[in-house]
Amino acid sequence: MVLPGTDPQAVRQAARCIQAGGLVGFPTETVYGLGADASSDAAVAGIFAAKGRPANHPLIVHVASAALVAGYASSVPPFAERLTKAFWPGPLTLILPRREGVALAAAGGQDSIGLRCPAHPVALAFLQACLEAGVSGVAGPSANRFGRVSPTTAQHVAQEFGDRLLVLDGGPCAVGIESSIVDCTRGRPVLLRPGVLTRAQLEAACGEPVLSPSEALAGASAPRASGTLEAHYAPQAQVRLMDASALQAALDLLGKEAGPVAVYARTLPANGGGQVICQRMPDDARLAAQQLFAALRHFDDLGVRLIWIEAPPDTPEWDGVRDRLRRAAASG
């Protein structure tokens, strides 16, 4: 059932559900999460079962404030502290050394753990209510079946899991793609997953270079992290990325026999025969991120089998969108 996240009684009801070991769909500024008590291995197992997610694939633990990090992390490097001060609450997840004996299932059995403090007001109210109920952290991957398109509205979550799941409605997500993930376990910051925060912003905040996994110190093993599989974020339809000229040429080749095909592009084709459905991708990277998953879900709802997408510009502000589209296309 979907309840208004602005209703304090609904928020308290959701917190009681978490306290009792249940699952709750909740909004964040990035995407909607599927939450459970991070300290309960049985509750966390419910997330893996509901999503069809491998149990060794770690979850991100959401906390109400940076003050709660010490309950999960055994140490926090100075550059990580600077990142939390700059971007929490916000769309940034930090991978930190996990405190022994804490949240083993949520961490996917690893000795590291992902932590985030979301910026959405409903999420913060929900996490605070959970804290008051004795739950200090909520494990919360995206509220969708494993590997599929992330949800950015409460209705998307209800479509995935039905009426049995309690969902707090916080409206459409303002960011629209998942958080940036920075690994803080290797002595230097390593960007494992891009989001709306650019590498330049992260570097300015932490005061040192932020490395890509390939640039990280040789011999250091990277922890597994949410949303970093090569194939991920995929709609039911097959996704293909191409530049504007290749997209136009492909449509011209299909001609009147085309379809059903969806086209998502900043440069809409001059013509599209057959059953071609065109939707314009925003020119602004942040707006494109906000709309991306909703657009992919819309094309699935229309029943298309192919989605042709104009590749985003190769510039830093588009890194997050480009990453999600590349992984979606790899699932085809």
Round to whole Å and give the CA distance between 231 and 239: 11
pTM above 0.85, yes or no: yes
Domain map (residue ranges) of the chain: 2-215, 238-330
Residue pair 119/127 in contact (Cβ under 8 Å)? The answer is no
**Nearest CA-CA partner of 279 in 255, 298, 260:** 298
| Averaged pLDDT score across all residues of the chain | 91
Round to whole Å and give the CA distance between 153 and 92: 20
pLDDT in tens, 251-279: 888 766 666 889 999 988 766 556 788 89
CATH topology of 2-215 equal to that of 238-330?
A: no
Q: What is the pLDDT of residue 230?
A: 64
Name the DSSP letter for residue 313: P
| Assigned fold of 2-215 | DHBP synthase (3.90.870)
Q: What is the pLDDT of residue 163?
A: 83
CATH class of 238-330: alpha beta
- Cis check for the bond before 121: say yes or no (omega within 30 of 0): no
Q: Tell me the longest C-alpha to C-alpha distance in the chain.
A: 62
Q: What is the pLDDT of residue 226?
A: 65
